[in-house]
Structure 1
Amino acid sequence: MSGKRPVSEETRRRVQQVIAELGYQPNASARALANGRTRTLGLVFPPAGHHYTGMQLDFIGSVVEAAADRDYDVLLSPSGMDSDCSFQRLLAERRVDGAIVMEIRLDDDRVSHLNEVGFPFVTIGRTAHPDGTWWVGIDHAALAAACVHHLADLGHRTLALVNRPEQLLKAGYESARRGLEGFTKAVAERGLSARTYNCGDDALSGQLCAARILRDDPATTALVTLNEAALGGLYRGLAESGRLVPGDFSVTGVAAARWAETVTPPLTAADVPAEQLGRLAIDLLAERLDDPESIPRSRLLAPPISLRSSTGPA
């Protein structure tokens, strides 16, 4: 049945016939006891806010699909060290062979704990000091900076950044912090005026944020958003304020392609390759499980901006 021992074709055929007649399925727990592998991976993924955003669901789907291609199941652990019952049970009971850890903070106690106990894992995102850790990630600082340079090249001089909620920024949420750093640096390099805003992960928050941007400085002609979930609301808020996109106001940012294309006009954006990141993470984890002594590896992606219809000359 394992395919690892030589048997005659006749014997193999007879065994397969009996398996079919009985509807037999191997017992995963017994198999795990026999070979020390569960063929299951953990996905440690607490929501960054009060709900899962479209981009987060894309990441979950990409990990599950990539794992299935390698004949692994995925066990979701929607918690971390902050509410650690599920997380600790995942490790203590060895329910999984390894883990993918997401929603990374610059100082992440989950990563520290996994390193301390020697449990194999890969992170999607990176901490402030990722040396010695297996990880894949997006260069949010470079992407935010690219958005600023794109707007500056179009003649925009007064910009706004729409970031994630304030509590995530204070908690050291990696994409929010690094995106802010890249935006701030690029604005200074181009000699632009800019304001930064924290925004809830929902359409209403985006709508209110757009109104606040124009109230704070009516001269603002463009924004960069790191908040995909608020995108529809930002468009609505601009429309209610009498700003046409892109005729009166340009919008760009970081978002998954399929979400950037759901708004009208479609968003000019640095497209987050969620599927590629999920597959890279699974590939690295499989490599680590097959060779525990291998040297830690990482991949940092910085996809180019996809020009669509939401940006134009100032």
Structure 2
Amino acid sequence: MVRITDVARRAGVSPSTVSYALSGKRPISAETRRRVEAAARELGYRRQSGALAHGGSNVLAVAAPLRTGVHVPAMMRVTQSVVTAARAYDHDVLLLTHEEGLTRAREPVPADALLVMDIGLHDPRLPLLRSLDRPCVLLGLPADPHGLTCVDLDYRAAGEACVHHLADLGHRTVALVGPPPEVHLRRTASAHRLVEGFTAAADHHGLASSVHPAVSAPDEAHRIADRLLRQHPALTAVVVHNAPLVEPLVTAFQQLGLRVPEDLSITAVCPDDPATITSVALPATELGTRAVALLMDKLHGTPVPEVTLLPPRLTERASTSHV
């Protein structure tokens, strides 16, 4: 199936320009329009083909429930990238933030396709998502992705990458400060898979390891750091998967008399890329772009993989060192 991106490549323009040229929604120069139309004819592209014909609203719905424990800035960063990517295909975005928002997908919501965020390992929404009559992409990887289309950071590999890095530096006792307890209780896929990778890598290297869900409140950092040091006197390395606590924990450990990284190495998996922290950053732009591209492929009837996992990229900085 020919995609709008194929036409854009042949014509030497952006996907949004192709959309505007063929729809007439925005003024395009006569020369560009002729080039786009010629490319579309040569490739056999039809704008309203396949699944697009079922609604044709040029709207994507994003189900992003604002549950307790969700790190909203990270969710909004990915959502912003979805909006940007959708505009390149001449689509707008409808944001559904209520827990019950997804049930509206069965109703006549003016949306061609659906992107669902904050996926659980055994997410109760999965039966509904498998039965929808419109294309759907999950930003997250449930335990059973059969019959679904999923894209996410490879969180298991991210947890492994942090531990491999620390083990290579000679650390023998490591701790993971994870998201709030309610995130773990919901068995959110990203948190669960990162714990899996962290624990598996620690076992592989013969390290002593522990996992500590933590409230995402910066003023709790000192209490968390003090508890970690009392419970694990031999602790020399911490992995943080709780964005609001990354910098506050560094400060708290320093206030407790530890030098970072001389006495304690710290790594993070977080939406930002902290300037001084060894970290795996959430690739928000790439996630949003991939998710929208998958939705557009499905709208045009193009086969897509069930699972797309983005490999983690660990950037080494001044917060980790040899012991």
TM range (shorter): 0.7 to 0.9
Contact 1:66 1:278 in 2 (8 A): yes
* Matching residue of 2:295: 285
Q: Which region of structure 1 is more displaced relative to structure 2, 211-220 or 280-289?
A: 211-220
* Matching residue of 1:217: 232
The secondary structure found in structure 2 opposite 1:146 is: helix
Q: Work out the CA distance in 1 between the residues paired with 2:55 and 2:209.
A: 56
Letter in 2 for 1:260: P
* Matching residue of 2:264: 249
* Matching residue of 1:119: 134
* Matching residue of 2:84: 65
* Matching residue of 2:13: none
Aligned with 2:286 (options 276, 288, 312):
276
1:102 to 1:156, Cα distance in 2 relative to 1, 3 A:
same
Aligned with 1:42 (options 58, 61, 64):
61
5+ long unaligned stretches in structure 2: 1-19, 24-29, 31-52
* Matching residue of 2:246: 231
Q: Work out the CA distance in 1 between the residues paired with 2:22 and 2:64.
A: 36
The secondary structure found in structure 1 opposite 2:125 is: helix
User: What TM-score, normalized to structure 1?
Assistant: 0.82
In the TM superposition, what is the alpha-carbon distance from 1:205 to its structure 2 partner?
A: 3.2
* Matching residue of 1:100: 115
In the TM superposition, what is the alpha-carbon distance from 1:297 to its structure 2 partner?
A: 4.1
User: What TM-score, normalized to structure 2?
Assistant: 0.79
Divergent runs of 4+, >6 A: 2-5
1:72 to 1:163, Cα distance in 2 relative to 1, 3 A:
same
Deviations 1:212-231 (A, max 9, x none): 11121222111011111221
5+ long unaligned stretches in structure 1: 6-11, 13-33
Deviations 1:86-142 (A, max 9, x none): 322343023211111011101112232121233321011111011221111111111
Letter in 1 for 2:292: I
Number of matched residues?
Answer: 277
Deviations 1:146-168 (A, max 9, x none): 11111111111111111111121
Q: Work out the CA distance in 2 between the residues paired with 1:68 and 1:104.
A: 25
Letter in 2 for 1:78: T
Contact 1:53 1:201 in 2 (8 A): no
Q: Work out the CA distance in 2 between the residues paired with 1:108 and 1:274.
A: 22
* Matching residue of 1:311: 320
The secondary structure found in structure 2 opposite 1:42 is: strand
Letter in 2 for 1:142: A
1:35 to 1:49, Cα distance in 2 relative to 1, 3 A:
closer
1:295 to 1:217, Cα distance in 2 relative to 1, 3 A:
closer
User: Identity across aligned pairs (percent)?
Assistant: 34
